[in-house]
């Protein structure tokens, strides 16, 4: 990563996606363990790596003491409604997330695309609405196994990206827009992309962003997600072009999440 390039807005991030896990007391315990295990240098040096957590909606409030502005962690929701407010039963809008203390939201996770039929159009509306409201966005893209096996993974990911960004204007390309490449076949399977394959996709994404959105586009932080563990985080980061991680399973234990954070900070 171009850490000495002061003109870049790229930032290293490690974000834990807690999915539908942890009751509030458990989230509270994990938050405490994380804070206790973070070295003071990491907490003080925000430019080294930013650490985020994405608990369930109902645990947002209880993790507040450890999240910005009171604490060092950045708080994300796992989803956000496309609409500001209204008669949308079961939805939570951007202003409600900000009100609950979340500064950002994950959008377009493959589990939402698959289990809740979120399509490119809906994801594009969510991205635009969230950015307009002032949230940070982690936009997820990634191909299923059969697409990778057919060799169409790059075009699949670029098509998801192009659709998701289609409602944006140049002003939206700030450091509040982060991307995450998460191959579907790597999520929760224990089989991560090889560092070379992950880095190749990140370069493809960045190249496409540069072609379409010039420097502000190419400057996005691009995280990798999919079976990141203490044992592979270092080699993934070392491959270059990877600005950090979105971590599922391994973020549910302080020890493994802290080890991944350390790898991201030191490489």
Question: Which residues in 163-202 contact ligand PEP (CB under 6 A)?
Answer: 182, 187-188
Closer CB to ligand PEP, residue 244 or residue 249? 249
The packing angle between helices 230-238 and 254-266, to 10°, is 20
247 scored as a contact of ligand PEP (CB under 6 A):
yes
Among 91-99, 121-129, 160-168, 219-227, the segment contacting ligand PEP (CB under 6 A): 219-227
| Those residues with Cβ within 8 angstroms of residue 91's Cβ, 6 or more apart along the chain or in another chain | 81, 83
107 forms beta bridges with 139
Contact between 43 and 10 (Cβ < 8 Å): no
List b or e across 217-235, with b for residues whose CB sees 16 or more CB atoms inside 10 angstroms: bbbbbbbbbbbbbbebbbe
- Segment contacting ligand PEP (CB under 6 A): 20-28, 168-176, 223-231, 258-266? 223-231
Q: Which of 76, 225, 232, 263 is the binder for ligand PEP (CB under 6 A)?
A: 225
- Which of 17, 56, 79, 160 is close enough to bind ligand PEP by CB under 6 A? 17
Can residue 241 be called a binding residue for ligand PEP (CB under 6 A)? no
Closest contact distance (angstroms) between CB of 254 and ligand PEP is 15
d(CA 95, CA 232): 37
Q: Give yes or no for a contact between 247 and 224, defined as CB atoms under 8 angstroms apart.
A: no
Q: Segment near ligand PEP (CB under 6 A), from 117-125, 161-169, 171-179, 247-255?
A: 247-255
> How remote is the C-alpha of 132 from its chain's centroid?
18
Among 124, 141, 246, 254, binds ligand PEP (CB under 6 A): 246
Distance (Å, rounded) from C-alpha 139 to C-alpha 113?
12
Active site residues: 109, 182
140 vs 158, beta carbon nearer ligand PEP? 140
Instruction: Give residues in contact with ligand PEP (CB under 6 A).
Output: 17, 182, 187-188, 225-228, 246-250
């Amino acid at each position: 990563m171009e850490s000495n390039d002061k003109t870049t807005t790229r930032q290293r991030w490690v974000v834990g996606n807690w999915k539908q896990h942890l009751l509030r007391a458990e989230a509270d315990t994990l938050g405490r363990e994380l804070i206790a295990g973070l070295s003071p240098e990491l907490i003080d040096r925000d430019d080294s790596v930013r650490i985020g957590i994405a608990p369930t909606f109902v645990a947002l409030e209880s993790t507040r003491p450890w999240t910005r502005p009171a604490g060092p962690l950045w708080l994300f929701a796992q989803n956000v409604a496309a609409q500001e407010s209204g008669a949308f039963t079961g939805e939570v809008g951007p202003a409600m997330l900000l009100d609950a203390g979340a500064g950002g939201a994950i959008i377009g996770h493959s589990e939402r695309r698959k289990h809740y039929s979120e399509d490119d159009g809906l994801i594009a509306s969510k991205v635009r609405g969230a950015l307009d409201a002032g949230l940070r966005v982690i936009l997820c893209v990634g191909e299923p196994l059969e697409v990778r096996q057919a060799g169409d993974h790059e075009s699949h990911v670029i098509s998801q990206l192009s659709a998701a960004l289609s409602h944006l204007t140049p002003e939206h390309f700030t450091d509040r827009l982060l991307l995450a490449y998460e191959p579907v076949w790597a999520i929760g399977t224990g089989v991560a992309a090889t560092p070379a394959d992950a880095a190749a996709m990140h370069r493809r994404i960045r190249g496409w962003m540069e072609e379409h959105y010039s420097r502000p586009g190419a400057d996005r932080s691009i995280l990798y997600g999919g079976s990141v563990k203490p044992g592979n985080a270092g080699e993934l980061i070392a491959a270059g072009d990877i600005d950090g991680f979105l971590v599922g399973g391994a973020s549910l234990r302080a020890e493994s999440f802290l080890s991944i954070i350390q790898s991201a900070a030191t490489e």
